[in-house]
């Protein structure tokens, strides 16, 4: 039995669903452009630089969810999938996922982006399992807070090991384990699998991958 882990944004997707969700809400007039666009861009640059304060960002990103009913958010998300997400789902990414699914591998998307944004995307890729940052909910509606450990940097390792433990598995339960990612932020989890793969990597991850002899591939 093999384990295949996938980052989502800028890995399976040729873009960032977290960033694009906020941009979508701005374009729809849900969020004020003047107040939110500059912050959204600043947080995205911090993420790429490896300096993001995840809790500060989640406060920015999850608060808007609490201001609208879940059925309204779900309707917006359907438009978001059509306008923003599906154009970022390339043939090479779909083929890679399908290759692992056809081999019978346990496939998991593990992402820092919240599960409201990512769950429909992951389902469209045909992947059953998702580990994401979970927005806190009360009576089916979002509170604007975060539930549990954010799935970010070292938190991805924590959440992954919790997920394995809940199923009675450990890292060595798998003959092979791989993780596909584009980001320096994923170095903690990339270092835990048997086969780390850098996908269209940022400069820091590319340099690290080349130094370590990790495969470097492109899904673009």
For 69-86, what is each residue's pLDDT tens digit? 999 999 999 999 999 999
Q: Which domain holds residue 175?
A: 2-217
Q: Cβ(23)–Cβ(80) under 8 Å?
A: no
In percent, how much of the chain has pLDDT > 70? 100
pLDDT on residue 22: 93
130-160 pLDDT per residue, tens: 999 999 999 999 999 999 999 999 999 999 9
Q: Which residues are catalytic?
A: 7, 9
pLDDT on residue 98: 98
Pick from 6-20, 22-36, 86-100, 126-140: least confident: 22-36
Residue 196 belongs to domain with CATH number: 3.40.50.1000
Please state whether beta strands 195-199 and 176-181 pair in parallel, antiparallel, or not at all (unpaired). Answer: parallel
Mean pLDDT over 150-176 rounds to 97
Q: How many domains does the chain have?
A: 1
């Amino acid at each position: 039995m093999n384990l295949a882990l996938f980052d989502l944004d800028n890995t399976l997707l040729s873009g960032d669903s977290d960033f694009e969700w906020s941009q979508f809400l701005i374009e729809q007039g849900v969020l004020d452009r003047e107040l939110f666009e500059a912050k959204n861009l600043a947080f995205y640059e911090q993420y790429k630089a490896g300096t993001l304060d995840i809790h500060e960002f989640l406060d920015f990103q999850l608060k808007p969810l609490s201001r609208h009913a879940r059925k309204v958010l779900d309707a917006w998300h359907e438009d978001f999938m059509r306008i923003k997400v599906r154009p970022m789902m390339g043939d090479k990414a779909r083929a890679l996922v399908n290759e692992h699914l056809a081999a019978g591998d346990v496939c998991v998307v593990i992402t820092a982006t919240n599960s409201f944004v990512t769950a429909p995307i992951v389902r469209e890729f045909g992947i059953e399992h998702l580990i994401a940052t979970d927005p806190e909910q009360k009576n089916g509606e979002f509170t604007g807070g975060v539930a549990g450990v954010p799935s970010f940097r070292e938190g991805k390792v924590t959440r992954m090991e919790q997920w394995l433990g809940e199923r009675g598995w450990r890292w060595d339960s798998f003959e092979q384990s791989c993780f596909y990612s584009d980001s320096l932020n994923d170095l903690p989890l990339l270092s835990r699998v048997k086969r780390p793969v850098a996908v269209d990597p940022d400069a820091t991850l590319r340099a690290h991958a080349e130094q370590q002899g990790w495969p470097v591939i492109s899904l673009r």
